[in-house]
Copies of this chain bind each other. A is one copy, B any other.
Amino acid sequence: MDTHKIIESLPIFKGLSEKQHIMLAESAKTRTYSPGQLIIGDEDRTKTFYLVATGRVKLSKTSYDGREQTLYLFGPRELFGLCAVFSDTIFPANAVALEKSTLIIFPGEAVEALARQDPLILFNIIFVLSRQLKDSMHAIESLTLKGIPQRIASYLLTAAARNESGNHEMVTLPVTQRELAKLLGTTPETLSRILRQMTVDHLIRVEGKTVEITDRESLELFAGV
């Protein structure tokens, strides 16, 4: 894996010099995790943050009776753990690889050293944290104020809007329906039933992990957009 190449292509490191990209690449470690493997646990201490190079990672919390709520799903080119490194070093949840995943692990100190030369990277980190904070506010809204069918419709519309391929009527589910249910605060059975009902109502067409939005207007009405 060419860590340097990945680093120089990332928005968070944009505007940095070639020399700074090399410095970051040299300070980073690469590690591969198998499906289901714990990367870092809830309340573990960390002085590093993580970039997903390949694969998929979930951040989740577990209740005392074993129920699980997923807080975030992270895929290629996404960062997590910044909020721990740059506050009290306590990691806020369990981070688990959902598939075979290779992560690039950066020491917080490397960022501090860079920032002394050029504060640009700090603005980039503020941008990433701001986005994650806003996403978590939307998650609270969705989990507390929206019904489950509405939540699923909103999820599909947001995922379609963010589709990097540019086809905003198409969603490739990033994880299994079982894992997606944990993000949406429901059971796999309910998720599956609602996707089937949406298909019968001609709102979407599902084929494996691909969901095509066939009636956007009705899906938006459904989502309460």
Please give the residue numbers on chain A whose beta carbons come within 8 Å of chain B beta carbons, in ascending order: 59, 61-64, 67, 69, 71, 82-84, 86-87, 92-93, 112, 115-116, 119, 122-123, 125-127, 129-134, 136-141, 143-146, 185, 224
CB within 8 A of A127: which of B87, B140, B185?
B87
How far is it, in angstroms, between the C-alpha of A134 and the C-alpha of B83 when the chains are bound?
7
| 9 nearest A-B pairs in the assembled complex, by CB-CB distance | A119-B119, A122-B122, A63-B145, A87-B130, A83-B130, A136-B136, A61-B141, A129-B129, A83-B133
**A71→B137 contact, CB < 8 A:** yes
How far is it, in angstroms, between the C-alpha of A93 and the C-alpha of B122 when the chains are bound?
25
Q: Assembly of this chain: how many copies?
A: 2
How far is it, in angstroms, between the C-alpha of A125 and the C-alpha of B82 when the chains are bound?
13
**A145→B69 contact, CB < 8 A:** yes
Name the B residues within 8 Å of A136 (CB-CB). Answer: 133, 136-137, 140
**B61→A130 contact, CB < 8 A:** no
Most buried by B among A61, A63, A133, A143: A133
Chain B: which residue is nearest A72 at the CB level?
B137
**A122→B115 contact, CB < 8 A:** yes
CB within 8 A of A87: which of B62, B92, B131, B139?
B131
Q: List 22 A-B contacts (CB under 8 A).
A: A61-B137, A61-B141, A62-B145, A69-B141, A71-B140, A71-B141, A83-B134, A84-B130, A84-B134, A86-B126, A86-B127, A87-B127, A87-B131, A92-B133, A92-B134, A92-B137, A93-B141, A116-B119, A122-B122, A126-B126, A129-B133, A143-B143
CB within 8 A of A145: which of B67, B87, B126?
B67
**B134→A87 contact, CB < 8 A:** yes
